[in-house]
Structure 1
């Protein structure tokens, strides 16, 4: 008997809720495994390409693992110290920049900022707080990042999980496909393909875009001599995965530092503005169309909402899962909207009832039913006669025993 769709949705909803509660309860314990699975997912197309080039799956995974580990070690040894040093210096210099900007505005535009005691006291408190807490904030934030990167779980478990998942990725996908409910397997495969297209297009495409923009911003800002230029360029590139956020935050920070450092020399200030303007033009007109292409994107507001919600619910694990969950929920939302447009709730027309099960009629030669009935009667009479004979024999045996 066929299980109603409503009951199937209920059971699968309970399973999804159980998974979310499990992730919430486990917290940081599942983070290495989530990161390992994400790395394996991102590197699987490269492994497939190496297989098509003639390497075995094992050799492809070994080559990829060696290259990734080498790149990670190079970043940790060469890039991270510069980022940490410049980020700390920028945070410590921020109160002085705010003080100079405030003095400039008070001198040139005395009526721009109201001179009320409340606002002035707030600005003074803000400046004092930033000055007092800058070093501690920098050490806390950077120390937590360094601690996360330096944990045994992330440095040992993540590569191991990624290696084995990448090695058996195709078999794992096939095994999951075999477990899909047969009635909805085709629909689930279609939704999974759309989620993969949206997620892979966003992550892989944006990864390449971030690498190109980070190289351009960091090197260009360092060449013009902007203090903290390397950190600002990397920060702007990383934040560019949310459209316009990276260029706004990075550009505002770079221009503020340029005004503080190059005041009286408008040429270099204009050079900083030109660097971000050129980066934005190249990203919008070449990098995004050519690299990300026609993949289904993630709306910036939807992405920010996912980061906020999943980060609040599951902490750092939620932030890691926010992008894939946003892609999956976006595809599911489009699927449900399409089904809604086909339903009677949208059209106002009742759907025709499902046809009842047909009555099956077996065609047999004439006289077959009568012959079967005669045979059944004869079998019944024979069985009844046999029972009577056995009963008579039992009675005779009993009389003999009594006599």
Structure 2
């Protein structure tokens, strides 16, 4: 029968345009699920969920979070084809990943550090292989031997001296604290406050003489307990020794097979617009920043520590190492170095030592800004100083000490991402027309 000339009702045209037909998916007309079946399925789902919640409450803290995540994944697996189901599965995966990292942080930290070291040394291995045709295993073995030797030298030479200066500083600080009540009793700096009736010197000296010795005894008594808690576990000590013995082997294989390990890690990250080229940008910024900053920090430690030792300043090694470590924190690190160095000389040195340490730190800053930073830092992050300071405080609030180190490169990456998205996002509003939005996906 010819039906070409028949008109299609508006409802039918709307249904055809939206891809909806009278038959349910996978079935024929007249086979739509009944309301009773839908209600029964809903009741069964609610009953299963109630039973799961009851089991969780009964087991309490004895239930492993991984088991809960597995049960949740099983419940959501049938609806994985829907966006909501995939989103919930991804959320469960993210929570499980955070839980695993927090649980295994102590075990993973040495291996992550070794892989970061291999990441920093990989350009040297590639350069030797490309320039001099040195086999990768040979350059890897050489760099591993050098790294282990440098680490052993630090442990044998610097650590004992550093610990000795820390002990001397602690003893001197305790002595200053113990003498503080006598200083309060004889100093003339508190005379204006005493004349104004704001303080009573004798009562203040008495209170300090009672309070400070108690605090000193409390701190001194807690140190042996802390040391004992670190060494009381023979199993933990054996584990540390075993990891320390395995790290050179891990470093050798991580550096030799760096390309394969890198490709495997890259595959764990999601794609963006069909590829993972955004990881190249991240690796370039972070790698250039860390290599340059570590080199500048090491040179800065030498520029401060060696002159301080030659001039005979107290705690010269501690001052040099602290200057190198704080140099990893842009802007704020140099300010903290000045504060620490001047305070150290005022408490345990002379006014001449204060002038010397100011001159040393000023010379180090001039060398760093005029020579080291322009010639070593191959990647300039290009951030305003106010943004740098804000990023330091924000990242430190979330990640602590590590946040100070990663704040600048991560902020540079975020700024690059925002700039790229802003350039690709255009909003055109013409007179008498609807707004046209062009997103990065459509651009």
* Length-normalised TM-score, structure 1: 0.69
- Residue of structure 2 equivalent to 1:394: none
1:115 maps to 2:199: yes
Match of 2:124 among 27, 46, 50: 46
Count matched residues. Answer: 342
Match of 2:367 among 252, 269, 282: 282
The offset of 1:352, in angstroms, is: 6.3
Matches of 2:389 and 2:133, distance apart in 1 = 41
Matches within 5 A, 1:15-164: 15-52=93-130, 53-98=132-177, 103=183, 107-110=187-190, 115=199, 127-128=212-213, 131-133=216-218, 135=220, 151-164=240-253
Cα distance per residue 1:105-157 (max 9 Å; x no partner): 97242257763689878866774466335545766788899999992254123
Name the SS for the 2:104 alignment partner.
helix
Seen in structure 2, the aligned counterparts of structure 1 residues 275 and 11 have a Cα distance that, compared at 3 Å, is: same
- Residue of structure 1 equivalent to 2:437: 351
Gaps of 5+ in 1: 312-318, 355-403
Matches of 1:292 and 1:5, distance apart in 2 = 44
Matches of 1:213 and 1:82, distance apart in 2 = 19
Name the SS for the 1:351 alignment partner.
strand
- Residue of structure 1 equivalent to 2:335: 248
* 173-182 or 140-149, which deviates more: 140-149
The offset of 1:58, in angstroms, is: 0.8
Seen in structure 2, the aligned counterparts of structure 1 residues 182 and 27 have a Cα distance that, compared at 3 Å, is: closer
- Residue of structure 1 equivalent to 2:356: 271
Matches of 2:407 and 2:159, distance apart in 1 = 29
The structure that has the greater radius of gyration is: 1
8 Å CA contact 1:251, 1:273 repeated in 2: yes
Name the SS for the 1:184 alignment partner.
coil
1:292 maps to 2:377: yes
Cα distance per residue 1:137-184 (max 9 Å; x no partner): 766788899999992254123333222121111123344556776773
The offset of 1:39, in angstroms, is: 1.6
Matches within 5 A, 1:105-254: 107-110=187-190, 115=199, 127-128=212-213, 131-133=216-218, 135=220, 151-176=240-265, 184-186=273-275, 188-189=276-277, 191-254=278-341
- Residue of structure 2 equivalent to 1:302: 391
Matches of 1:85 and 1:197, distance apart in 2 = 40
Gaps of 5+ in 2: 1-80
Cα distance per residue 1:226-260 (max 9 Å; x no partner): 22111122112212211244333333333233223
Match of 2:346 among 256, 259, 272: 259
The offset of 1:64, in angstroms, is: 0.5
Matches of 1:37 and 1:212, distance apart in 2 = 23
Matches of 2:83 and 2:438, distance apart in 1 = 17
Seen in structure 2, the aligned counterparts of structure 1 residues 323 and 96 have a Cα distance that, compared at 3 Å, is: same
Matches of 1:139 and 1:218, distance apart in 2 = 31
The offset of 1:17, in angstroms, is: 4.1
* 173-182 or 152-161, which deviates more: 173-182
* 159-168 or 54-63, which deviates more: 159-168
Matches of 2:308 and 2:238, distance apart in 1 = 27
The offset of 1:322, in angstroms, is: 7.8
Matches of 1:44 and 1:144, distance apart in 2 = 38
8 Å CA contact 1:202, 1:292 repeated in 2: yes
* 137-146 or 33-42, which deviates more: 137-146
* C-alpha RMSD of the superposition: 4.3
The offset of 1:43, in angstroms, is: 1.3
The offset of 1:285, in angstroms, is: 3.2
Matches of 2:436 and 2:83, distance apart in 1 = 18
Tell which has more relative contact order, 1 or 2 (C-alpha 8 A, sep 6+).
1
8 Å CA contact 1:306, 1:326 repeated in 2: no
* 148-157 or 168-177, which deviates more: 148-157
* Length-normalised TM-score, structure 2: 0.63
Decide which structure has greater helix share: 1
Matches of 2:204 and 2:413, distance apart in 1 = 47
